[in-house]
Amino acid sequence: MAPTTVTPNVGQDSDRRNLGKKKHRPPKSTGTPPPNKCPSPTPATKPVTGRCEEEPEKRGGEGSLAVREKKLAAAGGEANLPLLKCTSLGTNLESLIDASLTADLAAGSGNLASPRDSAAVVEEAWERLKKSFVYYHGRPVGTLAASDHSREALNYNMVFVRDFVPSGLACLMKTPPEPEIVKNFLLQTLNIQGWEKRVDNFYLGQGVMPASFKVIHSANPKYDTLVADFGDTAIGRVAPVDSGFWWIILLRAYTKCTGDSALVELPLVQRGMKLILNLCLADGFDTFPTLLCADGCSMIDRRMGIYGYPIEIQALFFFALKCARLMLKTDRRSKELIERIDKRITALSFHVQKYYWLDFTQLNNIYRYKTEEYSHTAVNKFNVIPESIPDWVFDFMPLQGGYLIGNVSPARMDFRWFLVGNCLAILSSLVKPEQATAIMDLIEQRWEVLIGEMPLKISYPALDRHEWEVVTGCDPKNTLWSYHNGGSWPVLLWLLTAACIKTGRPQTAKKAIELVEKRLATDGWPEYYDGKTGRCIGKQARKYQTWTISGYLVAKLMIENPSNLVMISLEKITKHRRTVSLPEMSRLKPH
């Protein structure tokens, strides 16, 4: 059965309203869904919906439990299918590019754009990336968010920390590498970190990294000035939790690429890492190892119901902890911090693997949960009400596959799919090898809804109608299948490609790259696409979006040379015991 597009119940308030009410059921699928249609002008008297599809599906049917029992009973015999083992996870990534992988990459290449077309797209991408460079005192320090001169700049003429990451990776992965701009960016943002950060009468923590900064040019480059945004001018006035994590991850990629240990050992750099980590590891009232966040604190920077413990932030947090653990000096002053990092890595990986993981077996378990359990023997530890499971999950979840859900907190599970968190969990080894394999299985089996005509859905499914009103506050930008509400973002191609290579599935990445190369350059490198399958250019998307360009380049560079993956991938950290060789054992035996 093709997955339906009914939106999830996200948030405790929404759950409370729906409990005890008769839920409407979506109709059964009768075949291939109708093709997308670009949105027609909306009358001024009606709220903007931003839809890029046919009329909404009519809803109706039986009570929720009865319908779910039929679905689960029909597939119950296959609920415990074993997960496939992943071939590349746990192996040495330095030797990843072997004969078998090269053969996989070469196979089936006839469907890709012709070499001449692909080369032309790559050449244009590099030219536009170079043109986006921002200079401060005559040195490149970052890239513009977008270079769309047909629209008002707003904040798209600033250098965003998260946006620069794929640009920096592209410069590091190219042959020969161009690490200068990455080094300058790392040091410049570190300098901005030390600024006083104030919103009204409240001062932010020392470790907060800026969301973005802008260079104010003068006639003499020596007198250029900087203006930074720590969330004080952002939509909703939310500080960027992810900026510091991305900075640490990029620092590790730079060190891995260049071997420049002198940069990471600078007292300024060591102090910057510690300030970021101290913000996250401070003692509080938390009962979970996950990081509590406000809505709009990451790439999804508008109200989208991700408040609490979003998977994107948890995966970034884990990734940054492991990178910092490899780069921090093990001296007396860092000993206590390193011990806290080690404990948090262990606790966070256990928590996410156990409580965020959802496959068919776990879905069946949650569906059968009892509520109001007390004591340490409780199975339903978060008191999740089974009736709050959205209907679409039962059709979306394949028998072979799984994923990390969007959020877990008391009495609330956000079952939506978020690509960034799942791919980062694979790259950082936050998930087990068999879970990584299951995530890729799900992407391949739900290709039509998660990839569609233009990769990739940032979240699935989209919020609609009442959920859209309650969760987003009727946000006119996050309408159905648009922007962060189920929009398609080509920049995410580099994350998918990295996850595909790590799990031994380069062909899946090549298939996505093929889709991108058909349209992306012709469409003017847009920021995002709208519609159920990503057919239409986003209604408010900027053209010549820099991270769209650099995300494509990074994906191509990794497919052409999979050994580039070592810059952005980590294996599981294990405590190694010193092994004793046979000659040593013989010498240790008493004579």
Going by C-alpha positions, the residue among 168, 151, 150 that lies closest to residue 159 is 168
Helix (H) or strand (E) holding 159: strand 159-160
Residue that is written with structure tokens 């119901």 in the block: 305
pLDDT by residue, tens only, the chain of 591 residues: 444 444 444 444 444 334 344 444 444 444 444 444 444 444 444 444 444 444 344 334 444 444 444 554 454 444 444 444 444 454 455 444 444 455 555 554 444 445 448 999 999 999 999 999 999 999 999 999 999 998 888 899 999 999 999 999 999 999 999 999 999 999 999 999 989 888 888 889 999 999 999 999 999 988 999 999 998 887 778 999 999 999 999 999 999 999 999 999 999 999 999 999 999 999 889 999 999 999 999 999 999 999 999 999 999 999 999 999 999 999 888 999 999 999 999 999 999 999 999 999 999 999 999 999 888 889 999 999 999 999 999 999 999 999 999 999 999 999 999 999 999 999 999 999 999 999 999 999 999 999 999 999 999 999 999 999 999 999 999 999 999 999 999 999 999 999 999 999 999 999 999 999 999 999 999 999 999 999 999 999 999 999 999 999 999 999 999 999 999 999 875 543 333 333 443 343 343
Separation between Cα atoms, residue 484 and residue 436, nearest integer Å: 24
Separation between Cα atoms, residue 75 and residue 257, nearest integer Å: 48
Assessment of whether the complete model's pTM goes beyond 0.85: no
Separation between Cα atoms, residue 489 and residue 454, nearest integer Å: 8
Widest distance between CA atoms in the chain: 97
Separation between Cα atoms, residue 267 and residue 38, nearest integer Å: 54
Angle, alpha carbons 548-53-551 (nearest 5°): 10
Read out DSSP for 504-553?
T-HHHHHHHHHHHHHHTTTTT--S-EESTTS-EEPTTPPSSBHHHHHHHH
Helix (H) or strand (E) holding 216: strand 212-216
Residue 417, φ and ψ in degrees, nearest 5: -90, 130
Contact (CB, 8 A) for 490 and 516: yes
